[in-house]
Structure 1
Amino acid sequence: MKIVKLCVLAVLPSVVIGSGCAATEKTTFNTLEQQRAIASKSYQQGDLHVAEGYLQRIVSSLPKDSASWCKLGHINYRLNRYSAATNAYERCLSLTPELPEIWHNLAAVKLREATEFLLTGRAYIPELNEAGSASSFAVNYTRLLNELGRLHGVAGYSTEMISDD
């Protein structure tokens, strides 16, 4: 009986220590820093999906990590996922509103969305009315689209529908 008690006492500390490790197995500071490093390097190398995966892990562990939310916004913008970019940028700004470059990036997302909506809708605008000239709506629509193109920095962008006659 004494041998059984001694065996239990000898094994018990390792069971407690082992279960303690499993219960507290959260992402440690070192692994978060490693994940940040991998995400950053992947982003710089253009491997946006790998970077996104690591950043998602980081924000799951640290939902108030503003820098990771900002970087997720950049990734989603580059992948043309504007809704996700908006959400990430807004999350970043809710944590650190003093970042003018993120306000700028959020506005760029909105401009890109507006441009794509107008480009898609352009197919449904009759170019000429019955009198053979563009309607005032078509002219204004085209002007707006041209201005958005100019804001995007597209040189010589024109939809060639504007008539000032």
Structure 2
Amino acid sequence: MARGLNRFPALLCALALGGCAGHAPRPGHAEALAKLETRAAQDYAAGRLPQALAAYRQLVERVPKDPQLWFRLGNVQTRLQQLDGAADAYLEVLALSPRDAKAMHNLGVVRLRQAESAFAQSAASAGGTQPALHGRSARMADGIARLAGPEPASAAAGASP
């Protein structure tokens, strides 16, 4: 009897693993993901950024280990001025693909924009009550804006979602 009880846990494990192996991906799941990705890219290209954002959020939720989807989500969020979300998305890319130069670059651009915004807000808050701080913050915001500058038309045209 004791010998039979020793085999029971092993039998339960075998049955459980066998049940797991029997769960194949749902038919059409990959096709549905491909359609969603196509729609997201089309929305991005057409400037329908809220729709692209929703689609890329769905995609990274369903396929969280795909750095390209995170990269595209970051690009959409950057264009929508959702800088904190964009930085998080680029950090996800770098967690999955640590040497991704484009993600590193875009994260740097986002961080510059965040810094520019912080200094501009500081200058506005300091106003006439703290003239020295107002001046320093305004100069920092202006310097960062000049440093970041607009991207050349060729770089912007070649940008993909």
Query: Taking structure 1 as the reference length, what is the TM-score of the superposition?
Result: 0.67
1:145 is matched with 141
Deviation at 1:141, TM superposition (A): 3.1
Query: SS of the counterpart of 2:94?
Result: helix
User: In the alignment, residue 58 of structure 2 is paired with which amino acid?
Assistant: R
Residues 33/144 of structure 1: CA separation in 2 closer, same or farther (3 Å cut): same
Q: 1:30 to 1:104 in 2, by over 3 A?
A: same
1: distance between equivalents of 2:149 and 2:95? 29
Identify the residue that residue 9 of structure 2 maps to in structure 1: none
Instruction: Map residues 1-165 of structure 1 onto 2, 5 A cutoff.
Output: 25=26, 28-125=29-126, 135=132, 137-153=133-149
Normalising by structure 2, what TM-score? 0.69
What amino acid does structure 2 have at the position aligned with 1:73? G
The separation in 2 between residues aligned to 1:46 and 1:52, in whole angstroms, is 11
Deviation at residue 151 of structure 1 after TM alignment: 1.2
Question: Over residues 73-100 of structure 1, what are the superposed CA-to-partner deviations in whole Å (9 max), with x where a residue is unaligned?
Answer: 0111111111111111111111112221
Q: Considering only aligned residues, what root-mean-square deviation do their CA atoms show, in Å? A: 2.6
8 Å CA contact 1:127–1:138 kept in 2: the answer is yes
Aligned length: 129
Q: Map Cα deviations across residues 88-146 of structure 1 (whole Å, 9 max, x no partner).
A: 111111111222111111111111111111111112335698xxxx64x5554343222
CA distance in 1, matches of 2:63, 2:147: 36
Q: Deviations over 1:29-83 (max 9, x none)?
A: 1111111111111110011121122222221221101111001101111111111
Amino acid at match of 1:47: R
Task: Give the Cα–Cα distance (whole angstroms) in 2 for the partners of residues 26 and 83 of structure 1.
Answer: 37
Percentage identity across paired residues of the two chains: 27
**Greater fraction helix:** 2
Bigger radius of gyration: 1
